[in-house]
Amino acid sequence: MDGQFAFSEEQHPDAAVEDVWRVLAVDDDGDFQRATASVLRDIELLGGRVELIQAFSCSEAEKLLANYKDIALVMFDVVMETEEAGLRLIKYLREEIDNSHTRVVLLTGDPDISPAPDVMRDYDINDYWAKSELKAERLLTVLAAAVRGYAQLRAVAKARRGLQRIVESSNTLFTCKNLPELAGRILTEIAQLISQPVDALVCMRREDTTVSSPIEADVVGASGRFGRYINTTLSTLDDLSVVKTLQQCFATQLTQRLPNGAVMFFPRLQAGADYACYIRCERGLDDTELELLNVFSTSISRGLFNVAMFSRLENMAYQDDLLKIPNRNALIRTLDVTLHSPAKAKQVLIDIDNFSGANTAFGTGYGDFILGLVAKKLRDAFNSEVFVARVRDDVFAILGPQKRVCAAEIVALFRKPKRPYELGQVNSLSSVTMHLDDFNGSARVALQDALLTLKQAKHLGQDQHSVYDPGLQSAHAEAYRLLLALRDAVEAGQISVELQPQIDMRSGRVTGVEALARWRKADGSMVAPLSFIPLAEATGYILPLGDLLMRLSLRAAKKLADAGYPHIRVAVNVSAPQLLQHDFIERFSSHLLMTGVLPTQVEVEITESVAMRSFDTVCEKLSALRAMGVEVAIDDFGTGFSSLSYLQLLPADRLKIDRSFVMEIGATNDQQMIAEAVIQIASRVGMQVIAEGVETQQQADWMLRHSCWHAQGYLFAKPMECSELLTWLGALEKRSA
């Protein structure tokens, strides 16, 4: 056992425990009884007083033996009422009342009669004496030996019971999952172990106490007269001697015996933190009890360690590392309980608008700062009835009773129009409200569906507030079916690419084509890429699908080159999960090699939001592509939140003005302004610019007027299969020739 746990022998004020040694003398011989009584009067042995009980017949003795379980020694005449009386009494003692501790000395009036050796052995009879030989001095010697034997047997039995108890209670200690429960259990078990009620304290040393300040500790368990101190601190105890004893225990790191109890120390190494347990009882503890406590302390340490580890794991699993508030797992656990309770409840998810943009533009430190402010504001706004968790990134959940949780009020918390430029101000956020009483799915699905609704809402722009529609559950199932169908479509070769020309409007020449995914079902109907690409992205299926699309696009590029158009660049759309694969560049190169396409004939298109996410990694990948000769275009430009400084650092060749801005040309001034701004930004950062979705001559003219020379759109051509494109290109050449 660890030396730390040894009971210090220095403090040993009065280990003596008040004991009474009961001696039962059974004899019908009055003279013998009187003589015995006079010898044993006022005798003390091994720290205990000798008390004589007398019986004059076997039946009287049986009654006394049944009543007093703690008789140390019984002396009796073999021959009493009957020849067999002595034998009957010993059988009664050992077999009927199952007493194996009481020592037995047989007496006889006749020195020639001795009991059979097997009786001596079988009934554990210690001594055999002729009464005539048992003079005062000898009687005392016999008595001392018997009492010592009895005390030892009793100690062993107590130790065995104690050890059994320790084994059993250790198991219950290990099932405790929190400190208050464990501390309570430890105190109950200690009281049981030493068979008396205790006034006790379990304290955990505070880590933050400095060297100079007095040692402080939290009272994590308390019983008896200390009961009221639970959850307070050591220094609030009114009994200063107890405070001092515990402080000393923490300082010396030693377990000590006390006049009426003990103070036990459990070191951090074994218990996860420094703990001390103060035990005060009605009487002093004997050596066996101290030894048992010593043994039990190992179990206590392990129990404390387990609880510490469990709470650390629990924190890891259920607490957000950054914000120290419940995380997604904790939300699901609470949602699960809520969904199973009849109380009307609601959950609101909020998402900070433009958070990832701000994060990229001003750094993650700033992003963390904002998240901290949001978490604090939410926590301060609600009492414990309402559960606030961070779901992921900048999405928070507020879950609670219908009456307490209201999206409009939450949004209002963040509306501070007076000081819109205050640091860390969240100017806008979007939300989704979900009424949980009409939801019949699991907690996980409830969260997933709420997130999906939130995502859809955010597609519409900023400051979006929607209410979850239970019909979405079927949309969910629909999405799942679609994903399975997509997998089958890949296998059945139903996925292809079409190519849409990109034109230099000054010359009318085709400079490039964009490869666009197509899914043609067996019945000839088409599935739009906007319904299956995001699904594939969300589920990770985009990795194999993207690989396929890349191969198909490069094969088309090869066909173009072979048909005499090696200068027509083929643009391939690449999603975030694809680009961020650690071996993306290797994969891309091997596709180029396999199809025999030159890197200079290829362009990679990534959307603006992807470009601004994981900025450093994205830049690294794009630089590697450009180093190979591959060009890079930023798709859907104008829809994100790119800061100019970041854009300047982005290794890209061209910006694609999003179709939504092109569409508005001629309609409203605002959107025109965005298109103009994009063109200016592109020229500032030295990138080419191309307009997407040009459908009218008016839009094309506008672009030319604003020095945007390149365009892609139905005005020039729709996306076409490769063979169709070759025919189209042939016709175009003929016309311009």
Tell me how far apart the alpha carbons of residues 85 and 63 are, in angstroms, rounded to a whole number. Answer: 14
Q: Which residues pair with 468 in a beta bridge?
A: none
579 touches, from ligand C2E, Mg ion, none (C-beta below 5 to 8 Å by class): none
Is 608 a binding residue for ligand C2E by CB under 6 A? The answer is no
Cα separation values, 50 from 24, 34, 47, 311, 584, Å: 10, 16, 10, 54, 92
714 touches, from ligand C2E, Mg ion, none (C-beta below 5 to 8 Å by class): ligand C2E
Tell me how far apart the alpha carbons of residues 96 and 92 are, in angstroms, rounded to a whole number. Answer: 5
Is 581 a binding residue for ligand C2E by CB under 6 A? The answer is no
**Of 332 and 516, which CB lies nearer to ligand C2E in the complex structure?**
516
Q: Are 728 and 716 in contact (CB under 8 A)?
A: no
Is 719 a binding residue for ligand C2E by CB under 6 A? The answer is yes
DSSP state for residue 319 in the 8-state scheme: B
Tell me how far apart the alpha carbons of residues 377 and 424 are, in angstroms, rounded to a whole number. Answer: 12
We find the least distance from the C-beta atom of residue 529 to ligand C2E, in angstroms, to be 4
- Determine which helix (DSSP H) or strand (DSSP E) holds 570, and give its type and residue range: strand 569-573
Q: Are strands 509-520 and 19-26 parallel, antiparallel or unpaired?
A: unpaired
**Of 185 and 656, which CB lies nearer to Mg ion in the complex structure?**
656
Residue of 179, 281, 533, 557 that binds ligand C2E (CB under 6 A): 533
Q: Are 643 and 360 in contact (CB under 8 A)?
A: yes
Residue of 450, 635, 689, 691 that binds ligand C2E (CB under 6 A): 635
We find the least distance from the C-beta atom of residue 498 to ligand C2E, in angstroms, to be 7
DSSP string of 586-626, one letter each residue: HHHHHHHHHHT--GGGEEEEEEHHHHHTTHHHHHHHHHHHH
29 touches, from Mg ion, ligand C2E, none (C-beta below 5 to 8 Å by class): none
Q: Which residues of 681-715 are buried (b: 16+ CB within 10 A; e: fewer)?
A: bbeebebbbbbbbbeeeebbebbeebebbbbbbeb
202 touches, from ligand C2E, Mg ion, none (C-beta below 5 to 8 Å by class): none
We find the least distance from the C-beta atom of residue 570 to ligand C2E, in angstroms, to be 11
Residue of 70, 379, 714, 723 that binds ligand C2E (CB under 6 A): 714
- The SS3 of residue 394 is coil
We find the least distance from the C-beta atom of residue 679 to ligand C2E, in angstroms, to be 18
Compute how many residues bind ligand C2E; rule: CB under 6 A.
Answer: 21
Cα separation values, 579 from 499, 546, 572, 596, 687, Å: 21, 10, 12, 21, 21
Nearest alpha-carbon partner for 107 in 88, 146, 79: 79
The radius of gyration of the chain's CA atoms, rounded to the nearest angstrom, is 44
Choices 293-301, 557-565, 595-603, 712-720; region in contact with ligand C2E by CB under 6 A: 712-720
517 touches, from ligand C2E, Mg ion, none (C-beta below 5 to 8 Å by class): ligand C2E
Is 575 a binding residue for ligand C2E by CB under 6 A? The answer is yes
We find the least distance from the C-beta atom of residue 663 to ligand C2E, in angstroms, to be 8
DSSP state for residue 7 in the 8-state scheme: P
**Of 528 and 594, which CB lies nearer to ligand C2E in the complex structure?**
528
**Of 449 and 635, which CB lies nearer to Mg ion in the complex structure?**
635
The four Cα atoms 129, 132, 133, 135 give a dihedral, to 10 degrees, of 110
Q: Across the chain, which distance is largest between two alpha carbons, in Å? A: 149
Is 500 a binding residue for ligand C2E by CB under 6 A? The answer is yes
Residue of 1, 530, 667, 737 that binds ligand C2E (CB under 6 A): 530
Q: Are 662 and 691 in contact (CB under 8 A)?
A: yes
530 touches, from Mg ion, ligand C2E, none (C-beta below 5 to 8 Å by class): ligand C2E
**Of 353 and 692, which CB lies nearer to Mg ion in the complex structure?**
692
We find the least distance from the C-beta atom of residue 528 to ligand C2E, in angstroms, to be 5
Other C-beta atoms lying within 10 Å of the C-beta of residue 348: 26
**Of 302 and 551, which CB lies nearer to ligand C2E in the complex structure?**
551
Q: Are 187 and 223 in contact (CB under 8 A)?
A: yes
We find the least distance from the C-beta atom of residue 448 to Mg ion, in angstroms, to be 28
**Of 199 and 635, which CB lies nearer to Mg ion in the complex structure?**
635
Residues at the site binding Mg ion, with contacts judged by CB under 5 A: 573, 605, 635-636, 692
Is 517 a binding residue for ligand C2E by CB under 6 A? The answer is yes
Is 529 a binding residue for ligand C2E by CB under 6 A? The answer is yes
Tokens 């039946």 belong to 59
Is 320 a binding residue for ligand C2E by CB under 6 A? The answer is no
Tell me how far apart the alpha carbons of residues 499 and 514 are, in angstroms, rounded to a whole number. Answer: 5
We find the least distance from the C-beta atom of residue 387 to ligand C2E, in angstroms, to be 37
Handedness of CA 175, 177, 183, 184 (dihedral sign): negative
Is 713 a binding residue for ligand C2E by CB under 6 A? The answer is yes
713 touches, from Mg ion, ligand C2E, none (C-beta below 5 to 8 Å by class): ligand C2E
Interacting residues with ligand C2E between 688 and 707 (CB under 6 A) = 692-693, 695
Interacting residues with ligand C2E between 554 and 573 (CB under 6 A) = 573
Choices 349-357, 524-532, 590-598, 626-634; region in contact with ligand C2E by CB under 6 A: 524-532
**Of 433 and 575, which CB lies nearer to Mg ion in the complex structure?**
575
Q: Are 712 and 503 in contact (CB under 8 A)?
A: yes
Please give the residue ranges that form the binding site for ligand C2E (CB under 6 A): 500, 516-517, 528-530, 533, 549, 573-575, 635-636, 659, 692-693, 695, 712-714, 719
